[in-house]
Amino acid sequence: MCAPHDLYGFKRRTPGAMASYMVYPVEALVHRMSTELPPAHAAFVEPLSCSLHAVERAGIGFDDVVVVAGAGPIGLGMVAGAAAKNPAHVVALDMADAKLDLARRCGADHTVNITESDPAELLGELTDGYGADVYLEGTGHPSAVPQGLNLLRKLGTYVEYGVFKDDVTVDWSIISDDKELDVRGAHLGPYCWPAAIRMLESGRLPLEQICTNQLPLSKFQEGLDLVADGTTSIKVSLIPE
């Protein structure tokens, strides 16, 4: 964290984004990708690197039961990254069956639509009532926080990647007195771009179904509206004209 790992086009220090061209300083690190990847698929390397960084922060082991909250662009990448660690089980949670189907294609062993079933029941069956070893939060919804704390076993690991609009309040006694949990944050995708590129180039991910919408830059507002709606798209890309 001491070394800069800014993402160019992200936040104020490295402006750009949604522009036809950008200027990179000489110290910028630029990764090469296969020209066979369509631009929208290649652009997925950024969220995928973020997902893989969260997976690295989790320290997943071979015998772990891993829960991923959310099956959007970040969550699907988390599922793929967690599955690549070859744990005992990867469980994906979401509210949309179509996204959960994609999660299975990305490597999830089990999926739960949380509007229809309580994931605690499945976790109880998989762990003899003990609880998950790792919980990766990729939704940014306040309810996903206590959900994760309650699904974890004692001495489990909670990784927070989602960004919240409002403050989130939880019972911190679960973290300390009840379970003695490890709570870790994750931000951007430092040092994970090469791994993300290899995963994209391997063809392991159903990118045609993940990268649902490509719009010209002039239709940026339509793209933002699609993202805000969240029901008819997964990954929306703006293609410079």
> 180-236: per-residue pLDDT in tens?
999 999 988 989 999 999 999 999 999 999 999 999 988 999 999 999 988 889 999
In a domain, 38, yes or no: no
- Kindly indicate the confidence band of residue 168, based on its pLDDT and cuts at 50, 70 and 90: very high
- Mean pLDDT across the chain, nearest whole number? 92
pLDDT of residue 30: 83
Cα separation, 230 vs 222, whole angstroms: 12
CA-wise closest residue to 18 among 230, 193, 239: 239
Say if residue 55 is in the same domain as residue 174.
yes
**pLDDT value at position 26?**
82
Domain count, the chain: 2
The answer, yes or no, to whether residue 16 has pLDDT greater than 70, is no
Q: What is the pLDDT of residue 20?
A: 65
Does the pLDDT of residue 86 top 90, yes or no? yes
The answer, yes or no, to whether residue 148 has pLDDT greater than 90, is yes
Q: In this model, does residue 137 exceed pLDDT 70?
A: yes
pLDDT tens for each residue of 149-165: 999 999 999 999 999 99
Range of the domain at 78: 46-185
- pLDDT tens string 25-51: 787 888 899 999 999 999 999 999 999
The residue with greater pLDDT, 58 or 239, is 58
Is there a domain that residue 17 lies in?
Answer: no
Are 179 and 218 part of one and the same domain?
A: no
Task: Kindly report the CATH number assigned to the domain that includes residue 111.
Answer: 3.40.50.720
One domain, residues 139 and 231 = no
For position 128, what pLDDT does the model report? 97
136's CB contacts (< 8 A; 6+ apart) are 54, 55, 58, 66, 67, 68, 69, 75, 78, 82, 159, 161
Q: What pLDDT score does 6 carry?
A: 65
pLDDT digits 0-9 by tens, 111-128? 999 999 999 999 999 999
Domain match, 72 and 179 both: yes
13 pLDDT more than 80: no
